[in-house]
């Protein structure tokens, strides 16, 4: 490709809201252009990268045995009502009506549509397993679209759906997809971890995320410093927390504890001169359900933090929000003095599982200015106990006993075992080996294909611009003619370009200053540049490696085979 013909409008500055390198460089390099909040168009360079990523994904998916299909972006709202997600999905789901008032949904994911495609057609275990996938546009009306392609409203996802006659068959495909995804992200040259994850609104049990390690990631991931254990903070576990601090042994009693309600745990620990480990903290939330709202209390150790996704899963709410002081009082609770003993009769509450059977604790007495001491946690139903705490750095690995650390990651893939949830809700059944009808077991598997374009840059850039690897670079080589008026330089560059693959090589023969062209090379981040400049008179050209910006002089007669090798 000749640079003079390429539509790549590069700019010096990025818009103010572009704070991350990938966002800045994608806009400045003219890879993409923004058309609205969370809406982007891919320009030629961005489209080449997108297609290269898509090709890697497609190749591995095809060789895994999955079959590519293409479902519509506009989906029938009835299907969403059948699965129950029409309400559950909340505001991210873009609902629309046609001229006849029929209701539709812009597909944020396609479980419903794919179930509808196979139901009444896959009717026997003999037709299973089956895996269908697509690489298409999704729409989610994200609350905060940001970071360019990392969190758009319209984006491109590879989404696959598998159908099985048993949990065992589903498990096999789930493991097979984990392997397939590992191959895809390895091929793309990414440093990633496979982590245990929360299943979120998609539901089901058993899910793993593929996280690319990156400082600018939105996700916190817990990783063991010694073994393979890794998990999203929303799902991370730890070995039960212990302490060396002395236990405040005491008989059960009620104490007058006039402490401020703000930061009450610290005041209580100081008041009794004990470690916060031995206190119980209450976190009171307003839980939003489809048709109602409830005030719910969550109890964790004073030294722990409530993990909100775990809390939400514990009570099955659609959303948890902070409860105001009036709302807390209206529910019969005392802010600052709330504890699991003697809660109002109808109050809903959950206790962190690590508190089960613990003793010598101090907690609010559910009475203004009073706490209980000598509390033992023996008399609660098992259903009250849930895993509620957020793992923090320095906690102990549940697998090997070493210390856990926390790093940032970007989610690039997510695989789920959905089980029978969707098939049961949508009445998609097959005849099993014993002649009994039952709903399919399903798995679903997503990869953020357009997000990956940005992830490649987050994973590899410097202050000047992108640094593409060979697998995803829009062009592998940029031949820069230093002085376009110099006929010898022009002729040499043109001749060389003519001998190379024009799909891999860009010839920068624009009538621009050398510095400007070099700046574009650095910003756009092709793996190599060849500078055809003054040295040509002495018979040399200069090869620049983008990663290191190291320049190497090469004899002009020796350059062709060298380039051919770099491009192969
Ligand atoms: P996130 O937690 O980042 O919002 P998610 O868990 O909602 O993502 P999934 O439903 O698991 O996303 O979708 C599969 C993949 O699609 C994700 O792993 C991610 O790579 C990609 N993806 C999800 N939302 C977006 C978005 N708004 N913009 C770009 N890619 C996205
Ligand atoms: Mg996900």
pLDDT for the residue numbered 204:
53
pTM: 0.91
CB count in 10 Å sphere of residue 547: 14
- Distance from the alpha carbon of residue 140 to the mean position of ligand 1, in angstroms: 9
pLDDT by residue (tens digit) across 444-485? 999 999 999 999 999 999 999 999 999 999 999 999 999 999
The closest residue, in CA terms, to atom 23 on ligand 1 is 448
Q: In this structure, which CATH number among 3.30.750.24, 3.90.960.10, 3.40.50.620, 3.30.499.10 belongs to the domain 253-386?
A: 3.90.960.10
Tell which atom from ligand 1 comes closest to the C-alpha of 159.
Answer: 14
CA 403 to chain centre: 24
pLDDT for the residue numbered 147:
96
- Distance from the alpha carbon of residue 454 to the mean position of ligand 1, in angstroms: 13
Q: Which of 162, 62, 73 is nearest to 122 (CA)?
A: 162
Please provide residue 549's backbone torsions phi and psi, each rounded to the nearest 5 degrees: 60, 25
Indicate whether residue 155 lines ligand 1 (CB < 6 A).
yes
Indicate whether residue 414 lines ligand 1 (CB < 6 A).
yes
Assigned CATH for 477-567: 3.40.50.800
The closest residue, in CA terms, to atom 31 on ligand 1 is 448
* pLDDT for 496 beyond 70: yes
What is the C-alpha separation between 408 and 330, in angstroms, rounded? Answer: 40
Structure tokens at 144: 């905060």
Peptide bond into 129 cis (omega under 30): yes
pLDDT for the residue numbered 201:
54
pLDDT by residue (tens digit) across 9-60? 999 999 999 999 999 999 999 999 999 999 999 999 999 999 999 999 999 9
Q: Which residues contact 18 (CB under 8 A, 6 or more apart)?
A: 24, 27, 148
Q: Which of 262-266, 341-345, 370-374, 539-543 comes out lowest in average pLDDT?
A: 262-266
- Distance from the alpha carbon of residue 210 to the mean position of ligand 2, in angstroms: 9
The closest residue, in CA terms, to atom 22 on ligand 1 is 448
Q: Of the ligands numbered here, which is closest to the C-alpha atom of 218?
A: 1
pLDDT by residue (tens digit) across 267-292? 999 999 999 999 999 999 999 998 89
Indicate whether residue 38 lines ligand 1 (CB < 6 A).
no
If pLDDT is split at 50, 70 and 90, which confidence band does 300 have? very high
Indicate whether residue 448 lines ligand 1 (CB < 6 A).
yes
Structure tokens at 363: 């907690």
Q: What architecture is the 42-233+405-458 domain classified under in CATH?
A: 2-Layer Sandwich (3.30)
- Distance from the alpha carbon of residue 411 to the mean position of ligand 1, in angstroms: 7
The domain segmentation of the chain, as residue ranges, is: 42-233+405-458, 253-386, 477-567
Residue 511 gets which letter from DSSP? Answer: S
pLDDT for the residue numbered 540:
98
Tell which atom from ligand 1 comes closest to the C-alpha of 109.
Answer: 10
Indicate whether residue 352 lines ligand 1 (CB < 6 A).
no
Indicate whether residue 142 lines ligand 1 (CB < 6 A).
yes
């Amino acid at each position: 490709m000749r640079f003079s013909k390429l539509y790549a409008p590069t700019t010096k500055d990025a818009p103010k809201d572009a704070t991350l390198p990938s966002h800045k460089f994608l806009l400045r390099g003219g890879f993409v252009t923004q058309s609205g909040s969370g809406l982007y168009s891919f320009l030629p360079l961005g489209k080449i990268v997108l297609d290269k990523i898509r090709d890697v994904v497609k190749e591995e998916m095809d060789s895994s045995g999955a079959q590519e299909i293409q479902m519509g972006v506009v989906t029938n709202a009835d299907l969403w009502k059948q699965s129950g997600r029409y309400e559950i999905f909340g505001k991210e789901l873009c609902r629309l009506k046609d001229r006849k008032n029929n209701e539709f949904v812009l597909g944020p994911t396609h479980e419903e549509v794919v179930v509808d495609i196979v139901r009444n057609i896959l009717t026997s275990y003999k037709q299973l397993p089956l895996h269908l996938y697509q690489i298409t546009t999704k729409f989610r009306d994200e609350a905060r679209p940001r970071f360019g392609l990392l969190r758009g409203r319209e984006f491109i996802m590879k989404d696959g759906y598998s159908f099985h006659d048993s949990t065992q068959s589903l498990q096999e495909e789930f493991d097979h997809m984990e392997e397939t995804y590992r191959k895809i992200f390895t091929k793309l040259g990414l440093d990633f971890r496979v982590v245990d994850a929360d299943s979120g609104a998609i539901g089901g049990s058993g899910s793993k995320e593929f996280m690319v390690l990156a400082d600018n990631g939105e996700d916190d991931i817990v990783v063991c410093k010694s073994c393979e254990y890794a998990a999203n903070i929303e799902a991370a576990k730890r070995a039960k927390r212990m302490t060396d601090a002395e236990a405040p042994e005491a008989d059960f009693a009620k104490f007058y504890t006039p402490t401020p309600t703000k930061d009450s745990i610290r005041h209580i620990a100081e008041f009794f001169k004990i470690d916060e480990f031995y206190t119980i903290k209450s976190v009171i939330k307003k839980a939003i359900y489809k048709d109602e709202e409830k005030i719910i209390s969550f109890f964790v150790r004073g030294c722990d933090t409530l993990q909100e996704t775990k809390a939400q899963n514990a009570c099955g709410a659609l959303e948890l929000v902070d409860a105001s002081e009036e709302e807390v009082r209206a529910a019969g609770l005392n802010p600052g003095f709330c504890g699991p003993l003697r809660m109002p009769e109808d109050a809903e509450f959950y206790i962190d599982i690590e508190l089960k059977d613990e003793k010598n604790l101090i907690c609010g007495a559910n009475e203004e200015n009073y706490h209980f001491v000598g509390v033992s946690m023996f008399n609660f139903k098992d259903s009250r106990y849930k895993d509620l705490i957020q793992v923090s750095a320095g906690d102990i690995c549940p697998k090997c006993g070493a210390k856990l650390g926390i790093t940032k990651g970007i989610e690039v893939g997510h695989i789920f075992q959905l089980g029978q949830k969707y098939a049961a809700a949508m009445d998609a059944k097959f005849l099993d080996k014993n002649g009994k009808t039952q709903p399919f077991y399903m798995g679903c598997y997503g990869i953020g294909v357009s997000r990956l374009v940005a992830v490649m840059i987050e994973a590899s850039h410097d202050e000047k611009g992108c640094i593409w690897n060979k697998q995803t670079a829009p062009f592998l080589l940029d031949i820069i003619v230093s002085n376009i008026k110099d006929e010898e330089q022009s002729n040499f560059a043109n001749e060389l370009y003519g001998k190379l693959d024009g799909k891999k090589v860009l010839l920068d023969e624009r009538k621009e200053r050398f510095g400007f062209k070099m700046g574009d090379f650095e910003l756009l981040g092709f793996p190599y540049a060849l500078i055809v400049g003054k040295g040509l008179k002495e018979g040399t050209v200069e090869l620049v490696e983008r990663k290191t910006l190291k320049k190497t002089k090469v004899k002009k007669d020796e350059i062709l085979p060298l380039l051919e090798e770099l491009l192969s």
